[in-house]
Structure 1
């Protein structure tokens, strides 16, 4: 197990009011948050509390105002849910059956009328358990991409907005959310118990898994339909990035809580990968040059939107309500950034139908039985037609060559 005394040194430096605060890079922030010494940052654990203190000291070092209930912190108590990304039962009473998480919040007050919320969750899975895709017993899930990367990018943006000639027409609230992995708890709680007047929030930016920009520079941006102005601004500033747009304001991350409160949202995501919710999601696999590209892109969007009045909110199609029910799984990680025809496989799970049939990472599923696959929705619709134990022919495109394999669910 690696140890990292740097976290204590940095906190000590921040605690000395006379000390000059050094510039801390995104790589250094990820190195701290995704280190074994923070034990996977499980919601409510002592390890998560250490991570929260680190983030608070970073906010303090950036000379941001505390905006929690108790300094930088906003605690909430809840009864754990075994249904990921579902609303939890909050309670004011602590007992053996409850846990306590804490959001970490800071404010940049430009004496403006409107507020922009910039957030990222900092919790992860601890030693695994519920939500883990690792089958070999307890192990530290450091979550370098999920979501130390998002927190580091939020801190990077906070530094830019505070110190480098940033826009002054809005105030900025920075939130490191707790409990996202338990069901969007921290963002849900904040929206219900805000420490600001949410009527003044013009839009919310969320970053969740922004540390794995691929060779094609593909970035998914969700929520582009939640305000009429977003689409143009998102594409105008793309630069070298290949933007995959998604209009919906609903998804499995903290922007959803704000969208459901009628606040326009933009959520940034560099894509799923085979290390998702596994101990192998570690710092060695983070693309820090890619993080700089994404962070600069988001900052350009913020600058562009600064000249606008309060964003107009509009409802989008709730895609989670039309996802079909299915009783079987292929056992793959889809490539959510794939813009071609079909469903490209980004990872294959051990001892599942896809692996047994010889499917590989990079294969594009174009047909299941007699059902054509054009995108993720048609793939899920196709899965809903099959029963456990049933065998069908799956057609794949492997490096430009069509192949047929038999798959038994």
Structure 2
């Protein structure tokens, strides 16, 4: 093999390795939603372990730290649903930046905390409070997606037209606290954010319903971006930018958003939300759909914002 063909071969291998991988998705979700992670409750040593895991991959993929302390953006999270002794807990967003020298940035986010033993008033499993709620779908699935998208854009050998900011939000389950903190204390100027993509519960695809893409109405550019986009999974769009996840914090700052979500299920905030129930093939397809959307959005110089309420 001469040098030219060797370079072409190595480039092809590199690009192929940048694609979302079921194997990697399984690795991330099985790690984050294992019993020994004890449900990743805000303030626990296990959620700290999850944060370190995310940091390690951000560093591996060559992302620039964009927190206030390396990749970390520490903040204090208050427990409000129940009275507990440690009502104020340490939390952090984990933030990595892919700097393409562009004027504007696309934010990709997912929260990495869950509800631990369900003892802070947010369990739907009243008979099993005190038992581990692993949160494989909510939201190890979104974090796995976040890491695979970070890998894709860091390793695809393309200098994109926009920068990309990857954020793993802390304390979402206590009231979207991590994303609220970021939008009040941004580490990139909010007026330079083109739009925000959020992933929360993308692991339990239902072929009858499809994956919801919420926030489609928050910019007049989204219909054109989606025009002609196809997927091997069913998806449908919803207009509203508000909702029970972290895109809401950006929407309230007049930033266009999309929220990918495979919908509720009987294991939501219960002890049965385990890695064995994740549809990894569909999860990979959702990420491939998101890549198409992100790539198409690169052709829009500056997106407008529409308030949908």
TM-score, structure 1 normalization: 0.67
Alignment partner, residue 313 of structure 1: 305
Alignment partner, residue 39 of structure 1: 38
Alignment partner, residue 202 of structure 1: 194
Alignment partner, residue 52 of structure 1: 51
**Higher relative contact order, chain-length normalized (CA < 8 Å, sep 6+):** 2
The structural deviation recorded for 1:235 is 5.1
Residues 131 and 247 (structure 1), Cα distance of their counterparts in 2 relative to 1, 3 Å cut: same
Q: Are the aligned partners of 1:167 and 1:303 in contact in 2 as well (CA < 8 Å)?
A: no
More strand per residue? 1
Alignment partner, residue 15 of structure 2: none
Mean alpha-carbon deviation: is it higher for 145-154 or for 127-136? 127-136
Alignment partner, residue 228 of structure 1: 220
Q: Distance in 1 between matches of 2:59 and 2:167?
A: 13
Alignment partner, residue 137 of structure 2: 145
Residues 163 and 70 (structure 1), Cα distance of their counterparts in 2 relative to 1, 3 Å cut: same
Q: Distance in 1 between matches of 2:92 and 2:144?
A: 18
Report the 3-state secondary structure (helix = DSSP H, G, I; strand = E; otherwise coil) of the residue aligned with 1:103. strand
Residue 98 of structure 2 is aligned with which of 99, 108, 119?
A: 108
Alignment partner, residue 234 of structure 2: 242
Residues 268 and 235 (structure 1), Cα distance of their counterparts in 2 relative to 1, 3 Å cut: farther
TM-score, structure 2 normalization: 0.88
Q: Distance in 2 between matches of 1:41 and 1:57?
A: 17
**Count, aligned residues:** 284
Q: Distance in 1 between matches of 2:138 and 2:88?
A: 24
Report the aligned-residue RMSD.
1.6
Report the 3-state secondary structure (helix = DSSP H, G, I; strand = E; otherwise coil) of the residue aligned with 2:102. coil
More helix per residue? 2
Alignment partner, residue 69 of structure 1: 68
Alignment partner, residue 185 of structure 1: 177
The structural deviation recorded for 1:241 is 2.9
The structural deviation recorded for 1:194 is 0.7
Larger of the two Rg values belongs to structure: 1
Report the 3-state secondary structure (helix = DSSP H, G, I; strand = E; otherwise coil) of the residue aligned with 1:275. coil
Q: Does 2:124 correspond to 1:133?
A: yes
Q: Does 2:293 correspond to 1:301?
A: yes
Q: Distance in 2 between matches of 1:236 and 1:123?
A: 35
Q: Distance in 2 between matches of 1:105 and 1:271?
A: 26
Where structure 2 has 5 or more consecutive residues not aligned to the other structure, the ranges are 1-20
Residue 256 of structure 1 is aligned with which of 239, 248, 255?
A: 248
Note the alpha carbon deviations across 1:335-369, whole angstroms, 9 max, x for none.
xxxxxxxxxxxxxxxxxxxxxxxxxxxxxxxxxxx
